[in-house]
């Protein structure tokens, strides 16, 4: 397996999985920038794991300012020392996400102020490596920016989480398909109470959520404890936060077989 790592400046670096040092769960790990050899000021923003490079697969990338780009994965099949440019990023913009796609999936973008847009990837012309993206979402607010991108199938659920601990699970069908480059619709009305939108992810009932606050508190909870509700709603409180605390990050954890067995028992 090959891992492709993408930095905020739009560069792509390769690492074979066996080149990543194995370590115990509690150990500190190695800094990725040292392993891939990028500049110390670059930040790794995304990675994808590739088993086989095939003709159909596409690589979808998006930037903070809402530009989106699609390229054939085959263009990234030959590792080069020192990396290559995967996307030409404008000044004051940065790459925030990269995902693999089968070539006919829908893209879902979400912004910090709670807007989102869904469109089919075929609305993005597939281009070469050192090219800029095209408009994926047009910002409705001057201070807004994209916080996440999903490549989705037709069914499934979308989970969004806000900085003040609100979360919501909705059916993907609630996000109707639109034209690329529009202003989108609200996925969570960001306000004083909820805080800003910080995370969007695709989930299934069997997943767990790992929520980490900026004060270092970590909470794990099952996704199926959240009722499925409409898209344009504020959501429910996932975690009780101290007055000044905010959620720093949210990830999903796939339960292992032992845990599933324990729960059944």
- How do the pLDDT tens digits run along the chain, 265 residues long? 899 999 999 999 999 988 888 877 777 777 888 888 888 899 999 999 999 999 999 999 999 999 999 999 999 999 888 899 999 999 999 999 999 999 999 999 999 999 999 999 999 999 999 899 999 999 999 999 999 999 997 678 999 999 998 988 999 988 999 999 999 999 988 888 889 999 999 998 888 989 999 888 888 988 888 888 877 777 888 888 887 889 988 888 877 666 656 666 6
Q: How far is CA 116 from the centre of its chain?
A: 13
Residue with tokens 């909820």: 194
Q: Which residues contact 246 (CB under 8 A, 6 or more apart)?
A: 163, 164, 195, 213, 214
Q: Which residues contact 148 (CB under 8 A, 6 or more apart)?
A: 96, 97, 109, 110, 199, 200, 201
Q: Coil, strand or helix: which one is 206?
A: coil
Residue with tokens 């530009």: 67
Q: Coil, strand or helix: which one is 225?
A: helix
| pLDDT of amino acid 264 | 64
Per-residue model confidence as pLDDT tens digits over 169-221: 999 988 999 999 999 999 988 888 889 999 999 998 888 989 999 888 888 98
Cβ proximity of 87 and 131 under 8 Å: yes
Helices (H), 119-265: 257-264
């Amino acid at each position: 397996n090959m891992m492709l790592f993408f930095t905020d400046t739009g560069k792509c670096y390769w690492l074979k999985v066996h080149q990543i040092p194995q370590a115990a769960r509690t150990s500190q790990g190695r800094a990725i920038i040292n392993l891939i050899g990028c500049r110390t000021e670059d930040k790794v923003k995304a990675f994808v794991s590739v088993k086989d490079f095939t003709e159909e697969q596409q690589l979808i990338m998006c930037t903070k300012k809402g530009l989106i780009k699609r390229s054939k994965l085959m263009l990234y099949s030959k590792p080069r020392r020192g990396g290559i440019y995967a996307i030409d990023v404008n000044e004051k913009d940065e790459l925030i996400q990269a995902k693999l796609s089968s070539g006919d999936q829908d893209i879902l973008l979400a912004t910090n102020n709670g807007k989102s847009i869904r469109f089919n990837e075929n609305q993005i012309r597939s281009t070469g490596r050192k090219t800029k993206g095209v408009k994926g979402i047009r910002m409705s607010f001057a201070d807004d920016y994209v916080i996440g991108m999903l490549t989705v199938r037709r069914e499934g659920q979308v989970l969004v989480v806000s900085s003040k601990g609100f979360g919501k699970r909705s059916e993907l069908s609630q996000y109707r398909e639109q034209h690329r480059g529009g202003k989108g619709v609200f996925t969570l009305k960001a306000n004083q109470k909820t805080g800003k939108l910080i995370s969007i992810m695709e989930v299934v009932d069997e997943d767990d959520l790992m929520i980490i606050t900026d004060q270092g508190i970590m909470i794990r909870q099952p996704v199926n404890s959240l009722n499925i509700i409409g898209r344009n709603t504020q959501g429910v409180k996932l975690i009780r936060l101290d007055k000044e605390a905010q959620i720093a990050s949210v990830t999903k954890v796939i339960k292992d077989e032992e845990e599933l067995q324990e729960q059944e028992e």
